[in-house]
Amino acid sequence: MDADAIVIGAGLAGLVATSELARAGRRVLLLEQEPESNLGGQAFWAFGGLFMVGTPEQRRMGIKDSPELAWQDWQGSAFFDRDPDDPAGEDYWASRWARAYVDFAAGEKRSWLHGLGVRWFPLVGWAERGGYLADGHGNSVPRFHVTWGSGPALVAPFEQRAREAAAGGRVGLRFRHRVDALTVTAGTVDGVRGAILEPSQAARGTRSSRAVTGEFELHAPVVIVTSGGIGGNLDLVRENWPERLGPAPERMIIGVPEHVDGRMLAIAGRAGGRLVNSDRMWHYTEGVQNWDPIWAGHGIRILPGPSSLWFDARGQRLPAPHFPGFDSLGTLGAILATGFGYSWFVTTQKIVEKEFALSGSEQNPDLTGKDIKLTLSRARPGAPAPVEAFKRHGADFVVAKTLAELVAGMNKLTPEPLIELADLERQIVARDREMDNPFTKDLQVMAIRNARRSRGERIARTAAPHKILDPKAGPLIAVRLNILTRKTLGGLQTDLSGRVLGQSQAHEPVPGLFAAGEVAGFGGGGMHGYRSLEGSFLGGCLFSGREAGRAAARATAGLAAGRQAVRRTGAGAARRWRRRPPSSPSPCPVPGPQAAPPR
């Protein structure tokens, strides 16, 4: 055996699993096909939102939350309907992972991360508000906790642990190692084989060479797959597209680097792993083309507040509850039902300044850089600099003083002019009339007023209600919104220990094979069910990576004698085994005496 465990994929779930194994004294080989610059995977690019329940941040905002309310919301969003009570059902382990994850989010999640140096912005966001009845989809209260330092700050403590373990000889970091197969002996997964790719200096997120310079085969009693989802592979996205949403759009932009290709799903399947809920996926409807792209087809999601008016490609207002930030999957279905793969926001400068944020650590330099002064500037007039840059340079933005000019600009962005000025004006004027009273029949206006009853929304997220055509709120802004690929909600089915279940009728675990993160549907092959409450993707990587790492450590507890023998071979052998020097520079920031988040 070359190690006690092999972990495939150096994203957040892989780093967490590796750190747990190393802390338990296990020898780990962490394999990654990309260059070292990509350590941390998709999590590095993340905004850093985490779903947490009953936190001090919520209490300071006057938010009353509970595990019971969170579980009610999760069940209403997931809608587990694929035999959740049958051990052979696709939702059996998914629903149990969901229950465990909500308990984690309401329990030790915050204290565990806090002990690792992670902190959060004090205002709690309200994502996926639902807009249905109490037991339907959506978060009843704000639960979206933005990490101070965004995605890199979540990666940092686990990268630091992995590098410290590498320096101590317990972890071998093997970049440019592409796994092409899992080795199976007598029904047990006992290793991997694949290709060594040529060294690459490609920057994080950009395309790296696929030229092969050699081959490798490595063996361990435990293999953990943490390779991510399919969001960068449009062929797989279309192949697995759910029929219930109608045909996949002809054009989509991509929210993840192209190496997020889903290769390991099929590879694990060929080794006996069971794939479930492959038609469940999570794509966003508020995507805009990145004017300064990092990868091919790079799209950025607008994280909207509730006030912009949402129109389909022909200029018809989307029906309730398809408002910004309410129901991503439902709105996706509503847009595709129109026969077009895009839609429009029509909004004002006043709304953009208060309500537009952009996904991605690189689009939020104030939060990512832990810059208190720059972060506080969000509460002052003016949109954040990255948002203004998209207004000026983005191919999907139209800015105009009058509605006629706006419509003319919108029609220039599409193959044919579908927006009629008179009809669009009629709908906007009708909405604006509803602003004359503190009460209304317009459900979106109700939602805006309701949002501002939340302290955090009123301070930094929801603009004061106003008429769209009020010149004092201008200029007018239209944004063409594209479908943006992002997350896999199904995947390898796992039990609560992260063991991958097999394809036989009994669906017993495949000996030696574990999975965590997006490749496992963030746990159980689909703990989100059909819909996400947001903030649970990074959290799912953290939780499933931790559980799989700890379970794999327990499974290899009998290797203590072998570890002692390895130690007796001397420091030189340990250095040869881990292969990389301990002085490798860290591409992610590590915790240190940095500024605390503003209170």
Residue 377 pLDDT class (50, 70, 90 cuts): confident
For residue 247, pLDDT beyond 70: yes
237-246 pLDDT per residue, tens: 999 999 999 9
pLDDT of 381 reads: 82
pLDDT of 567 reads: 55
Instruction: State mean pLDDT over 292-315.
Output: 97
pTM for the whole structure = 0.93
Joined together, the tokens standing for residue 35 give 């260059």
Domain range list for the chain = 5-227+262-280+489-578, 282-485
For residue 17, pLDDT beyond 60: yes
For residue 594, pLDDT beyond 50: no
pLDDT of 380 reads: 79
pLDDT of 585 reads: 42
User: Which of 2.30.130.40, 3.50.50.60, 3.40.50.720, 1.10.390.10 is the CATH number of 5-227+262-280+489-578?
Assistant: 3.50.50.60
Residue 580 pLDDT class (50, 70, 90 cuts): very low
Instruction: State mean pLDDT over 548-566.
Output: 79
pLDDT of 207 reads: 96
pLDDT of 526 reads: 98
Residue 535 pLDDT class (50, 70, 90 cuts): very high
For residue 311, pLDDT beyond 80: yes
Residue 564 pLDDT class (50, 70, 90 cuts): low
Instruction: State mean pLDDT over 483-508.
Output: 96
Cα separations in angstroms, 117 against 15, 371, 585, 590: 16, 17, 20, 10
Q: What is the DSSP letter of 363?
A: G
- DSSP-derived secondary structure for 532-566: --SS-HHHHHHHHHHHHHHHHHHHTGGGHHHHHHH
Q: Which of 267, 265, 273 is nearest to 192 (CA)?
A: 267
- Rg of the chain taking only CA atoms, in angstroms: 24
255-274 pLDDT per residue, tens: 999 999 999 999 999 999 99
Q: Look at strands 144-146 and 49-51 and give their pairing.
A: antiparallel
Instruction: State mean pLDDT over 487-503.
Output: 97
171-214 pLDDT per residue, tens: 999 999 999 999 999 999 999 999 999 999 999 999 999 999 99
For residue 482, pLDDT beyond 80: yes
pLDDT of 440 reads: 97
pLDDT of 378 reads: 81
* Distance between CA atoms of residues 26 and 5, nearest Å: 7
* Distance between CA atoms of residues 56 and 72, nearest Å: 21
Q: What is the total residue count of the chain?
A: 599
pLDDT of 460 reads: 87
- Region of 540 please: left (phi>0), alpha (psi -120 to 50) or beta: alpha
Instruction: State mean pLDDT over 327-354.
Output: 97
3-class SS of residue 94? helix
* Distance between CA atoms of residues 527 and 98, nearest Å: 5
Backbone angles phi, psi at 277, to 5 degrees: 55, 40
pLDDT of 587 reads: 43
Q: Which of 106, 459, 68 is nearest to 451 (CA)?
A: 459
Peptide bond between residue 321 and the one before it cis (omega within 30 degrees of 0): yes
Instruction: State mean pLDDT over 457-479.
Output: 96
344-359 pLDDT per residue, tens: 999 999 999 999 999 9
Name 567's Cβ contacts closer than 8 Å, sequence gap at least 6.
Answer: 574
Name 275's Cβ contacts closer than 8 Å, sequence gap at least 6.
Answer: 265, 268, 269, 490, 491, 492, 493, 525
For residue 299, pLDDT beyond 60: yes
Residue type, 399: V
3-class SS of residue 572? helix
Cα separations in angstroms, 54 against 1, 107, 142: 45, 9, 10
80-130 pLDDT per residue, tens: 999 999 999 999 999 999 999 999 999 999 999 999 999 999 999 999 999
Q: Mean pLDDT over all residues of the chain? A: 93
* Distance between CA atoms of residues 323 and 306, nearest Å: 6
Residue 562 pLDDT class (50, 70, 90 cuts): low
Cα separations in angstroms, 278 against 152, 252, 261, 505, 589: 29, 19, 14, 19, 35
- Residue burial 562-597, b: 16+ Cβ < 10 Å; e: rest: eeeebeeeeeeebeebbebeeeeeebbbeeeeeeeb
Residue 376 pLDDT class (50, 70, 90 cuts): confident
Hey, what's the torsion of the CAs at 455, 461, 464, 469, to 10 degrees?
Answer: -170
Residue with more model confidence, 505 or 49: 49
For residue 412, pLDDT beyond 70: yes
Instruction: State mean pLDDT over 380-393.
Output: 92
For residue 136, pLDDT beyond 80: yes
For residue 578, pLDDT beyond 80: no
Q: What is the DSSP letter of 494?
A: B
